[in-house]
Structure 1
Amino acid sequence: MPFVIYVIGFGTFAQGTSEFMLSGLLPSLAGDLDVSLSEAGLLVSAFAAGMVVGAPLLTLATLKLPRRVALTGFQVVFIAGHVAAALVPHFGFLLITRVVTAMAYAGFWTLASVAAVSLVTADKRGKAVSVVVSGLSISMILGVPAGTLLAQHSGWQAAFWAVAALTALSAIALLVVLPGGHDTDAPRLELRTELRSLAVPRLWAAYAITALTISATIAIFPYLGALLEDVTGVSEALVPAVLGLYGVGALAGLTVGGRIADRAPFGVLLTGMGTVAVVASAIALAAGSPWAMVPLSVLLGAGGFLTNPAVNARVFSILGETRTLGGAMNIAAFNVGIAIAPWVAGLVIDADLGLAAIGWVGAAFALAALASTLLDGRLTRRHQHTTQNLTAAVPDTHQAATASR
């Protein structure tokens, strides 16, 4: 695997820490900004909404720019947004900065995924994407617990300053190692070609799977810190450790998924979402038990992130070489799931059904993901059957033409 892909993965680690660290920061943010826990959860949805808009919009806007210029430009905007948020601790302003920084992160993530895929052969695309996305799981293992500790001892602003510093370091590294060759610089593809690539029904089934798989996990994760403290009874000092264990599970799932996603994407998707459905249901039933919640947190991360390389491999296999806008739409789909799930979970919390009820929300999304996976499998088999029939018909037509002559 080219070294530059690992550097790109470091970039997703730096920025991904910001996306997921709110799981440990929400209680601190809610108290400091004088809002409810469910209102603070809107910061997660705001970030995801920014990514939904930013992924396709900024991809189109930077289609003709060299990817190195675009990637580092997005990082500069991301850094500025976090510095501003740390300097102006106001909930409304924080919502705005979350949207802006998310848009920049969406642009970075889209181009980073496309650059990684373009640097390897077709049989290694799933693994390349898993390396890039592994930055997110590492951010859960290291970034989220570290951010939680910073918030507990120095205020939530310290976590934002740390993210800004990490992102600056990753931008410098990317400038040094990202090559300027034909595959990683200005794309040759035209807007019309990119738009045409989206007119494939099974591609939208794959996008639905992307949204639903992340929803199944993210319905629980932003509130996991609060759940552990308020329902499970885990002490505040131990919450970062449990969140870190969630990240360990996520990294394990991502590693396994990255190795087999290219060969058996549907098997990975069904296994991962089946696991999440069972684990989320168990969380709803056993949230009060620390002995149950610690291993369940690990399994939630493992099952959820097992599917990540598979959803990316599915999308890129359908798109083929026309992958820039299509890849951006997959990032948007990913964040549609991130935006919707915390909002739905917040509605459940506000309905006084209890924090543990978010487990049922996660299980419902997982079952929907399983149904979408089965639909995608049916569409894929139909496509393969049609392709085989067309391929078989070509030589027969040629032979008939030859005989007539």
Structure 2
Amino acid sequence: MAPSTQLGGGGGQFGLLALALGGFGIGLTEFVIAGLLPQVSRGLDVSTAAAGWLISGYALTVAAGAIAVTAATAGRPQKPILVGLLALFVAGNLLCAIAPNYPTMLLGRVVAALCHGSFFGIGSLVARRLVPPERASRAVAMMFAGLTVANVLGVPFGALVGERWGWRATFWAITGIGSVALVAIAVLVPGWAGGTSGRADLRSQLRSFRSTQVWLTLTATALGYGGMFGAFSYLAYTFTEVTGFSATDVAWLLVVYGTGLVVGNIAGGRGADHNRDVTLLVSLTGLAATLTVFGLLASSRPASVILVFLLGAFGFATVPGMITRVTDAAGGVPLAASANVSASNVGNAVGAWLGGLAISAGWGYAAPLFVGAGIVGVGLGVMGWAARGSTDSARGGGGGAGGATGEAAEVQRS
């Protein structure tokens, strides 16, 4: 454990920036493909449906890989793991850049996805150690800032580079960003922040999942994400078929949504450090209300612009608090943080599936918004149940202090 004089110092801030850069690169890989699918489909001579597996295959690998990779690396120092994960990320994107055929391209996407969940899960624990305990959620938000900025820039970045130099150039660029992030983490993240936690062996980590609070938080995460991304998956159709925007308007509307993610991530981190459970309950309430009102006012252009921003803001405001909450409930083990990333991806898949069923049933392109509101409403109920049973809720939410203290105590006991 680092001396208190080191916590929050300049080295810690540089370490957080290095983690954020890694998150930015990984976020680009996740989001950029959406704007490149037509080019990739033509370049590799595959159908649009086959090209779509470059997105869904990535998401499924993230969900499974987050737990599998974290479990496989249990008991090892975390800084070298982060460096190794980024090496995997670079290799995957390099494969995509040079892929001579579709199977190689899909393999590259799977290899890159293997690092995603574990990087954010393990990285969130490392980020917490770089700051004083009362700033834990803000540190997590700082690391996720790279992901939110990538969401804003990913699709337009991929489309711009792809149009000018071809889709392979986009993956060469991401390979370069990943290489820089790898070096930055190796140099700037202090060794004491990336050491082995006190309960790093796999058996101890699995025992942490006996906690009801862990499962309640994971469930609330899946439902919150499922509601937001279930609606987000069909926003292009909502904007064009219900609101009346043109197809070319969708790009800047998604930038508005991405800007909401950035704002929500920052606000959620600050709020969670002040009162975590209240911040999560307010964010989920705001998200459910936004989805409901969006569904009612989807035909209004001005309202849709405001509401798509709020959708991103309330949706991502839950991220820092959920991660610190689940890791605190689990005693600071990496597997819990990675499981939170898996839960969010499972929620994404289920939410999109339910939204698609609503459209197929003939309920219209605004229906996923109402479906999402219902899913988030259930998540709000789960979060309320968790908050009532939480000991840190009785102390005012103590997102950062309580959790970091608990982890430190566990290290000392070990």
User: Structure 2 length as normaliser, TM-score?
Assistant: 0.81
Using the alignment, how far apart are the partners of 1:208 and 1:305 within structure 2?
16
Contact 1:24-1:225 at 8 Å conserved across structures: no
| Matching residue's letter, 2:143 | V
Tell me how far apart the structure 2 counterparts of residues 324 and 96 of structure 1 sit (CA, whole Å): 26
Picking from 4, 29, 47, the partner of 1:34 is 47
Aligned residues of 1:45 and 1:342 also touching (Cα < 8 A) = no
Q: Is the 8 A contact 1:254 1:306 kept in 2?
A: yes
Q: Is residue 376 of structure 1 aligned with residue 382 of structure 2?
A: no
Which letter maps to 2:245?
A: V
Letter in 2 for 1:201: T
Q: Does 1:127 align with 2:138?
A: yes
1:44 and 1:222 in contact (8 A); partners too: no
Report what 1:279 is aligned to: 290
* Contact kept in structure 2, 1:315 and 1:330, CA below 8 Å: yes
Alpha-carbon separation, structure 2, partners of 1:10 and 1:138: 10
C-alpha deviation, 1:213, in angstroms: 1.4
Per-residue deviation, 1:43:
4.5
AA in 1 matched with 2:346: V
2:92/2:110 contact within 8 Å kept: no
Corresponding position of 1:194: 205
1:358: how far off? Answer: 2.1
Aligned residue number for residue 83 of structure 1: 94
- Seen in structure 2, the aligned counterparts of structure 1 residues 42 and 251 have a Cα distance that, compared at 3 Å, is same
**Cα deviation per residue 1:101-141 (whole Å; 9 max; x = unaligned)?**
22221222222111112223322211111111111111122
Kindly indicate whether the alpha-carbon contact (under 8 Å) linking 1:280 and 1:362 is maintained by their aligned counterparts in 2.
yes
Over aligned residues, Cα RMSD in angstroms?
3.0
1:263 is paired with a residue whose SS is helix
- CA 1:317–1:53: 2 relative to 1, 3 Å: same
Kindly state the Cα deviation for residue 205 of structure 1 after the two structures are TM-superposed: 0.2
Q: Call closer, same or farther: CA 1:158–1:222 in 2, change over 3 Å.
A: farther
Counterpart in the other structure of 1:71: 82
Shift of 1:16: 1.2
2:70 alignment partner AA: T
Q: Give 1:215's aligned residue.
A: 226
Q: What secondary structure does 1:65 align onto?
A: coil
TM-score (norm 1): 0.83
Residue by residue, what CA displacement relative to the aligned partner does 1:274-302 show, whole Å, maximum 9, x if unpaired? 22222223333444443232222111111
Matching of residue 357 in structure 1 with residue 375 in structure 2: no
Contact 2:197 2:333 in 1 (8 A): no
User: What is the 5 A alignment of 1:225-374?
Assistant: 225=236, 227-229=238-240, 231-320=242-331, 322-351=332-361, 353-374=363-384
Structure 2 vs 1, CA of residues 316 and 64 (structure 1 numbering), >3 Å: closer, same or farther? closer
Per-residue deviation, 1:85 = 3.0
- In 2: Cα distance, 1:231 partner to 1:27 partner: 25
Q: Distance in 2 between matches of 1:370 and 1:285?
A: 21
Q: Label 1:44 to 1:287 Cα distance change in 2 as closer, same or farther (>3 A).
A: farther
**Unaligned ranges ≥5, structure 2:** 1-7, 396-414
* Match of residue 185, structure 1, among 189, 195, 198: 195
C-alpha change, 1:227 and 1:102, in structure 2 (3 Å) is farther
Contact 1:14 1:139 in 2 (8 A): yes
Q: For residues 187 and 267 of structure 1, do their structure 2 counterparts lie closer, same or farther at Cα, with a shift above 3 Å needed?
A: closer
| Aligned position for 2:5 | none
Larger radius of gyration: 1
**Structure 1 unmatched runs, 5+:** 386-405
Query: 2:281 corresponds to which letter in structure 1?
Result: L
Q: Which amino acid aligns with 2:48?
A: V
The separation in 2 between residues aligned to 1:382 and 1:254, in whole angstroms, is: 22
Aligned equivalent of 2:27: 16
Matched residues in 2 for 1:200 and 1:275: separation?
28
Q: Bigger shift: 91-100 or 369-378? A: 91-100
CA distance in 2, matches of 1:49, 1:170: 24
Measured in 1, the distance between the counterparts of 2:73 and 2:215 equals: 24
Q: How many residues align?
A: 381
Contact 2:75 2:202 in 1 (8 A): no
CA distance in 1, matches of 2:82, 2:265: 24
Q: Which amino acid aligns with 1:35?
A: T
User: 1:162: which partner in 2?
Assistant: 173
- 1:113 has 2:124 as partner: yes
1:46 aligned onto 2:57: yes
- Deviations 1:164-188, CA, capped at 9 Å, x for gaps: 222222112112212223x412445
User: What is the percent sequence identity of the aligned residues?
Assistant: 33
Give the letter for the 1:107 counterpart: S
CA distance in 1, matches of 2:380, 2:242: 29
- Per-residue CA shift, 1:183-225, capped at 9, x if unaligned? 4124453333222222111211011111111112211334434
1:398 maps to none
